Copies of this chain bind each other. A is one copy, B any other.
């Protein structure tokens, strides 16, 4: 047992921390201005492209992808502390490094399950940061945490598949540069529970695809990320070769995709919590009320100490989960992936809440990143399955130990 990062990780951490200081944090205000000035808020903002070019130049690129042929070839354990750092500026850093969801998950799917043709056409431009992508799973009409509820149909018709259905919370899809959608639907509703689904590649400009509207998240549009779209698929026809893996493989691909996706979210959430704690400490030190700095109030000590304890605990479980994924595989790490999915968002939400409180009115406003980080974090108690579903599942496995 050893709690020190390895040399490669330390080297990349040093590099990335410097990049954050020199490029990312200064860019936060620039992004805000560019978004404010943009005619179309969904346009790509120039600052992002600049950051991407610089990050790639520095070798801080595709760090998330363990496949050494396409990505940086890091283990999950090596990537985790880097993802954490990007979480400190989640609107800029992950995309700057081409490590932003949902592209990361989509690239992994294509790396693992894509045909050579699919890789050439969609994986390569994604790896190069030229296009973005969306993942269309959640549906408005049903509780999508139960995959058997999915109503979208993917039906074979000659050499094509025809897709009909309605999706929402398709993150990134409002971005005009988002060129390709991975759509989950049912090819065989009568098959066994977890063999009914498939995934298929649908280019954004395919006839029948209608991006209906942007969903709001606590008032935010998540413009820099390409928002979250509601999309209608009406008799959308794509070649059969667009199917990923095969009919009935959708649930298995989703499971393969969700493990890394969840841990990436958790890594970044640790970074968000660290950012919040830093802002809380700085604010508390600089404001005076009733004759002494807020930082000298006992209740603020409670918040700060409790934040530090919770962050340390959560980080270690995320790191252990990454280590398990590396050593026993994503399936072997299933319980731990659920554990961090349950434990991390609520931890970060708690720290953010206290940081907001320490900021007074400024905390809920656009003058600090806290409120927007809070909204993103709160949503992660719901996204990729609500906490309650994961708790139920984890508890059932725990109970089985004693049967």
Residues of A within 8 A of B (CB): 1-6, 9, 77, 138, 140, 142-146, 149, 168-169, 215-221, 277-278, 281-282, 284-285, 287-290, 294-295, 297-306, 308-310, 312-314, 316-317, 319-320, 323-324, 335-336, 338-339, 342-343, 356-357, 360-366, 371-372, 374-375, 378-379, 381-383, 386-392, 394-396, 398-399, 401-403
Contact = CB atoms under 8 A, between A and B. Distances in A.
Nearest to A297: B298
Given A300-B395, A386-B357, A392-B301, A375 B218 contact: yes
Nearest to A316: B316
B308 A394 contact: yes
Given A298-B388, A316-B317, A361-B383, 19 more contacts: A1-B323, A2-B2, A138-B361, A143-B289, A143-B294, A146-B290, A216-B219, A218-B219, A218-B372, A218-B374, A281-B398, A282-B402, A298-B298, A299-B388, A303-B395, A305-B398, A313-B316, A361-B379, A364-B382
A398 B358 CA distance: 15
Contacts of A398: 277, 281, 304-305, 308
A360 B343 contact: no
8 contacts: A217-B219, A217-B364, A298-B301, A302-B391, A306-B342, A308-B335, A308-B398, A309-B343
A365 B371 CA distance: 16
Contacts of A382: 356-357, 360-361, 363-364
A383 B363 CA distance: 11
Given A2-B1, A138-B361, A342-B309, A297 B218 contact: no
Contact of A388 (B217, B302, B391): B302
A395 B289 contact: no
Nearest to A307: B398
A378 B169 CA distance: 24
A310, A401, A402: most-surrounded residue (chain B CB, <10 A): A402
A180 to B, nearest CB: 22
A310 B310 CA distance: 10
A99 B153 CA distance: 51
A320 B309 contact: no
A3 B324 contact: yes
Contacts of A277: 398
A395 to B, nearest CB: 4
A295 B372 CA distance: 31
B343 A391 contact: no
A2 B3 CA distance: 7
Nearest to A396: B301
Contact of A402 (B1, B281, B289, B357): B281
A306 B277 CA distance: 24
A323 B356 CA distance: 34
Contacts of A390: 305
Contacts of A388: 297-299, 302, 357
Nearest to A296: B298
Given A146-B289, A218-B375, A381 B357 contact: yes
The list of the 6 closest CB pairs from A to B, nearest first, reads A219-B219, A298-B298, A219-B220, A305-B391, A316-B316, A301-B395
